[in-house]
Chain A
């Protein structure tokens, strides 16, 4: 009994450590993708000096951020100002706990994983709001308020859009959801409206173009991050890109079969080989969606804050409710 508890604890510590460590290369890769892909789409070269084809540019950026002086504005509320980046980063890192990388490669396979995920990711808004308030800067304040309004609004269609999937599969656990998708086909086919709503809302939830209201560099300088420098800013920056990765990962798990290969044959692969195979497909699919987010950033301008809120409440929310309604009826009628 004691041994099992210790084993569980040890496993948990190991998993969380690994995940925390994973955030760093993930952020580096996503930032590198952002720089290089947008550059190519802009018909520029992009970073090409550090490492072959410039692949270590974002790593160098990371170290540069570490080396910067860490300043706190004189008027700022020092304790909350210091706490905010930590809150945002931890929200992102903690939500990684339930991401199903592969069979057997989930840090914590909760039976309420989906609920946990949305609960924890939603915490980052607190960090942004605190950062905006504590900076004693009007741009930060406006950015923080925007982030609160935006993320709280979009959380509702975001959560509602997957309730349909949950009703269909009858589970709140990620691994069971993926197991269901193995039997019935990817949820993409069952929940196309849910997928659309989820994708749009998730972009808003992680503050990506065209919904990057919070940062909005041409209006609010850098939103809540305006007064931050050094590694505190680095934490926000990391959290933002890790959140993008996480959202793509959750999108893949929910609608694109998670670790499943597009064809069924070797998905039955067991043991360590199966885990590696799952990880391969999982990361491939996830990075495809990261790529699409970067692509959107290179293409689209930013919507205005009132248009953004209007979209959440007038379009996405009713649509999500309709989707849920149809799904529920279908489940009852066809006894799915």
Chain B
């Protein structure tokens, strides 16, 4: 690993003249030039970067016509679901264009994983999509098992499916709350957290952690179920539907909520496929694509369930889709508990895994959509390349498509209905 010679560096396609010039001026001891200082630029010019636009699209977003201005929503905005920045071009209250600016939470997990052994990779992926941590571990675990050519015992697969479906219930439940919160409803989010807290307690009982579980292993899971987990699961199962319904009563038929979500942010099925939107958002647009059915992994081919879809593809359909999937997941949990076999939960694997050179692709259905891992082994103890496709990263591209013509108030409501998680977006 030597540093590339500057001469062989590829010519940068971007016009970096301004940056070059700034560097030269700094080297010569001159003060930097600013194309516009805030005092003289005028109020509507605030927020335009003081460098030439790098691409066609950037020029489009950052050039203002009469009566337009840019608003930076984020990175410290109360409801951007983490640290992201939406550059919103508005004309009065009407959104003209929107440009998501990412990277505030970028930790370079892919690069980190290339320097970690296969077992420790599973700890690095945890904080990606922090509302679906178990799912984050699931796909790499499957990919590494494919690379190593090993299959976890049946009971391990069932425990995996169980914790993953529990996580789906908690994540979808939170989406209900966040959607209402971004419209100003204070209560549903706290009702959702009651449900999530119980699930987190369960996960803590089985894995020893409350958020970053590190529960999956190559070839199995870390622990078998224990009494505390099972008793908590039983109690939770007794009243979870009542909890969900309590929250639903706050939201579903609320006149204001309906007025703000029906026909808002409508995404057609064809557009959703083209934009790479997956998961509940895609199914809400009427496309019955669910990795659990389309390409069954783990033990999903042994479970009975149908792919739920909605027709309209608007924010309300995305919300209804989440509720339907919560109920479906609870149904799946019942089936898993019925069918759970006995046996070991961990296959025999060495401490340091050295798979044969090869490639493996594993995709799972995370609460936000298709989450996949593409891993390449060169025979060494750590992956040569470890690539993660995060569904919320891709779903964000729908924002510039959905927003034009809507109001500023809808920005957050529509974004919340897409349910992105910034930890996953920024990797």
**Which A residues lie at the B interface, using CB under 8 A?**
38, 41-44, 75, 136, 138-139, 141-142, 146, 209-210, 212, 216-221, 297-307
Q: Chain A interface secondary structure, helix, strand, loop or mixed?
A: loop
Interface size on B, residues (CB 8 A): 34
- B256 engages A219 (CB within 8 Å): no
Q: How far is the CB of B183 from chain A (nearest CB, A)?
A: 4
Contacts of B409 in A (CB 8 A): 216, 219, 302, 304-305
Contacts of A41 in B (CB 8 A): 187
Q: How far is the CB of B257 from chain A (nearest CB, A)?
A: 5
- B184 engages A212 (CB within 8 Å): yes
How far, in angstroms, from A42 to B189 measured CA to CA in the complex?
A: 9
Within 8 A of A (CB), among B384-418: 407-412
- B77 engages A221 (CB within 8 Å): yes
Q: Residue B78 contacts which of A146, A221, A297, A307 (CB distance < 8 angstroms)?
A: A221
- B260 engages A138 (CB within 8 Å): no
**Which B residues lie at the A interface, using CB under 8 A?**
38-39, 43, 46-47, 69, 71, 77-79, 93, 180-187, 190-191, 194, 250, 254, 256-257, 259-260, 407-412
Closest chain A residue to B80, Cβ basis: A218
Contacts of A305 in B (CB 8 A): 93, 407, 409
How far, in angstroms, from A262 to B69 measured CA to CA in the complex?
A: 55
- B186 engages A297 (CB within 8 Å): yes
Contacts of A304 in B (CB 8 A): 259-260, 407, 409-410
Q: How far is the CB of A150 from chain B (nearest CB, A)?
A: 12
Q: How far is the CB of A154 from chain B (nearest CB, A)?
A: 17
Interface centre among B79, B186, B254, B260, by most A CB within 10 Å? B186
- A42 engages B43 (CB within 8 Å): no
Closest chain B residue to A149, Cβ basis: B93
Q: How far is the CB of A178 from chain B (nearest CB, A)?
A: 35
Closest chain B residue to A38, Cβ basis: B186
- A216 engages B190 (CB within 8 Å): no
- A42 engages B259 (CB within 8 Å): no
Contacts of B77 in A (CB 8 A): 221
Contacts of A220 in B (CB 8 A): 408
- B38 engages A75 (CB within 8 Å): yes
- A142 engages B46 (CB within 8 Å): no
8 additional A-B residue pairs with CB within 8 Å, beyond A219-B408, A301-B260: A41-B187, A42-B186, A42-B187, A146-B93, A300-B254, A301-B180, A301-B184, A303-B260
Contacts of B182 in A (CB 8 A): 218
